[in-house]
Structure 1
């Protein structure tokens, strides 16, 4: 199966709700105790956010299989732009078929078209499956990630 990967326009992002529900269920384990929004609220945010871009992987029947949320950001050191991959998710039943890799490859191809200096993302330390893929296809950055939690309900 070769999935179709394309940018999902804001008016169609409600189609992500079933995937967002699966993603939220998985993240509950990582974000124990955090107040996670409903899939409908998550899709509405993605539809209304002016900078969020969504790559969607879907099958021949247009069933959503996975998504990647991207941001095109200024990169001042190189006086260029870079890409930020904020979320990447593949439906559990569709894993092991190269969809995550294909979504990242689509993001990289788009970044080349836009002249990005790089594509970057963060991953939870305990996400062994994702880390295994990322170690095969990318170089670990020399940066640490830090966070200041501003809302106790959204804390780990």
Structure 2
């Protein structure tokens, strides 16, 4: 990597789907969740670039080489009465950590949130990922320690969905 690498951030296109899937696989490996990463190119293409995109992706490059990504979507705050920006995944390949790319990706997302009049910019981080937590604190992020994420998936999701409606 050059002494002053050229950093660039761009919106992903359909041509980036294989790259996005690869970056997701690398993130899953880092998070010790490789078995959970079952996304396919076709599924990502449909969800990210179909008629009603579920999320957006920014690709981060260092000296023209794909070095990371951020996948995000909008949520909504009933208290604020505004949509927010939710960062689902941020990943910078290990060889490019320390280049400033992570900060540039986060700043790009913050600009999108401000431009779209979002009331919040939020994300989750694994509690064991201390380097990421320290990085987020340098950006001014505040941990929401009084909140815990809840999740339904698989059989539990289908069981609740099949519960009789009143």
TM-score under structure 2 normalisation?
A: 0.77
SS at match of 1:18: helix
CA 1:121–1:143: 2 relative to 1, 3 Å: farther
Structure 2 residue corresponding to 1:45, chosen from 43, 46, 61: 43
* 6-15 or 88-97, which deviates more: 6-15
Larger radius of gyration: 2
1:144 and 2:142 are equivalent in the alignment = no
Alpha-carbon contact 1:10-1:46 (below 8 Å) kept: no
Aligned to 1:3: 7
State whether residues 55 and 68 of structure 1, in contact with CA within 8 Å, keep that contact through their aligned partners in structure 2: yes
Moved more, 138-147 or 47-56: 138-147
TM-score by structure 1 length? 0.81
Q: CA RMSD in A?
A: 2.1
Q: What stretches of structure 1 move > 4 A for 4+ residues in a row?
A: none
Q: Which has the higher contact order (CA 8 A, sep 6+)?
A: 1
Distance in 2 between residues matched to 1:11 and 1:2, nearest whole Å: 22
Structure 1 segments unaligned to the other structure (5+ residues): none
